[in-house]
Amino acid sequence: MNIHTSSIEMFLDAILANSAKRSGGESIAEVIHDGLHVFREFPNNNGVMLFLVDDNEFNFRFSAALPNENNNNAQEIFNVLAQKGSIGSVLSAGKAQYISDEINDLSGFIIIPLSVPSAAVGLVILAADLHNDDMVLLRLCEMSAYQFAYALNNTRLLQRLTYNQIVLEQKVSARTIHLEQIQRELKTILDCVQTGILIINAESGVIASANPAAELQELIMKLTTEITERERAEEAARQALIKEKELADLKSNFVSMVSHEFRTPLTTILSYTQIMQNYREKLTEDDQIKYLKNIELAVSRMTSMLNDILFIGKSNSGALTVTMRVINLFELCSSILDEMRVLDAEKHKIIFKFDYPPSAVRTDEKLLRQILLNLLTNALKYSQSSTEVELAVSHSETAVIIEVKDKGIGIPKEYFSNLFESFRRADNVGNISGTGLGLSIVKQSVDLLGGNIKVESIENEGSVFTVELPIS
């Protein structure tokens, strides 16, 4: 039977119209509907059936048919054709084939595979007759199948993609909710613990967050630093104040010392000169000599005080110089003791022990004289008449050792720490006169000679000052 050309054209038009219609947004049902209607335009067909490959089982399952009456026996037809091997041969050839119905001698079937290059999508069975010269129709069927298979595959892929996207979104949102929950729990824990915890960004090293305890600790640390700094500043201010007060004390000490210590010899000088002026004729020669001697003593006391002040002044300004030369130590000690005896007017028993056979020593005579004079003057001044005052000179391998001992009033313990500072005087001195400069001069002289000094003293029992000077 020859098929009318206009029928073929209608079939072709349907194929072309369907391909023009594809927009990509259809559902599977729409694609199937459109695809089946195209095949339904095949000339003189008795129906069209669609079998799709089941995704999971790789089976052909009946999907739809036109007209709908074919629904019931579609699977049966498929099974018969499969048993005959027709389905298998179509699939392996990948081309549409016409199978005549020898069983019922009704119209035959055109089996058309639906496939894309990567997979088989399904197949269409068209109940229609086809004669040998209708190869064009077979090709048109393949063309329509090609279009149908692509539309089905794309729609399926798109659906799967959309599905996967939805699943993914759901997973992400579930995960986000879970994470937020964990974060809330963590924050609750962090807020409750007493330990300060800082969360630091590993890459940037910047603090990302801190729990209240950490903030508190940070605050405490800041406050502590602030307090420490303030305390330090206060301490510095206090020290400066103490120094200032010390300086003020020293100044006032100096003024009161000068006014007090200078007044006594000045008064002596004034009174003796007045007596000598007013009563010169009545004074015996001995009296006059005695008064002149007293004036001389007062002057030498003032001179000595002035020298002490000058020494301290020079020492403070770093103007003291050391001139080392070899002297005879025995002679120096003897001459100083002679001076002392004159000043002491034989009130004390002065003992001199000398155990340093070479006698020659390399030193600064002026400084050594200051040391001996001041220590001996104190020993005599701070001990009662008729007690012993001893100067003992001995030596070790490396030093000359000078000891000045007395059995006087001694030095109170609390005074030991600032014994060698200028103007310091212990409380137990009573009305024994002094400037508080002697021991300061001794210490500075010992230092300049590279030696050391120590003192042992018990109140009311006496004192021992020991000076060690290195033998060069």
Footprint of ligand ADP on 388-407 (CB under 6 A): 406
Among 361, 339, 343, 341, CA closest to 351: 341
Q: Say how many residues make up the chain.
A: 472
The correct pick among 190, 438, 444, 445 for binding ligand ADP (CB under 6 A) is 438
The CA radius of gyration of the chain, in Å to the nearest whole number, is 64
Name the one range near ligand ADP by CB under 6 A: 77-85, 96-104, 227-235, 432-440.
432-440
Minimal distance, residue 457 CB to ligand ADP, in Å: 7
The correct pick among 52, 382, 402, 451 for binding ligand ADP (CB under 6 A) is 382
Q: Which is nearer to ligand ADP, 95 or 425 (CB)?
A: 425
Q: Which is nearer to ligand ADP, 341 or 425 (CB)?
A: 425
Minimal distance, residue 281 CB to ligand ADP, in Å: 40
Q: Which is nearer to ligand ADP, 48 or 426 (CB)?
A: 426
Distances 368 to 273, 365, 372, 395 between C-alpha atoms, Å: 36, 5, 6, 16
DSSP track, 140-178: HHHHHHHHHHHHHHHHHHHHHHHHHHHHHHHHHHHHHHH
The answer to whether residue 425 forms part of the interface with ligand ADP (CB under 6 A) is yes
User: Under 8 Å CB-to-CB from 194, ≥6 apart: which residues?
Assistant: 213
- The answer to whether residues 36 and 50 touch, using CB atoms and an 8 Å cutoff, is yes
Minimal distance, residue 318 CB to ligand ADP, in Å: 21
Name the one range near ligand ADP by CB under 6 A: 150-158, 328-336, 353-361, 371-379.
371-379
Q: Under DSSP, is residue 278 helix (H, G, I), strand (E, B) or coil?
A: helix
The answer to whether residue 156 forms part of the interface with ligand ADP (CB under 6 A) is no
Q: Which is nearer to ligand ADP, 291 or 415 (CB)?
A: 415
Write out the H or E segment, with its range, that includes residue 402.
strand 399-406
Residue 314 in tokens: 């020079």
Distances 298 to 141, 280, 291, 334, 383 between C-alpha atoms, Å: 149, 20, 11, 24, 21
Separation of first and last alpha carbons in the chain: 147
Q: Which is nearer to ligand ADP, 88 or 412 (CB)?
A: 412
Footprint of ligand ADP on 241-300 (CB under 6 A): none
Name the one range near ligand ADP by CB under 6 A: 120-128, 168-176, 338-346, 408-416.
408-416
By CB under 6 A, name the binding residues for ligand ADP: 374, 378-379, 382, 406, 408-411, 424-426, 429, 434-440, 463
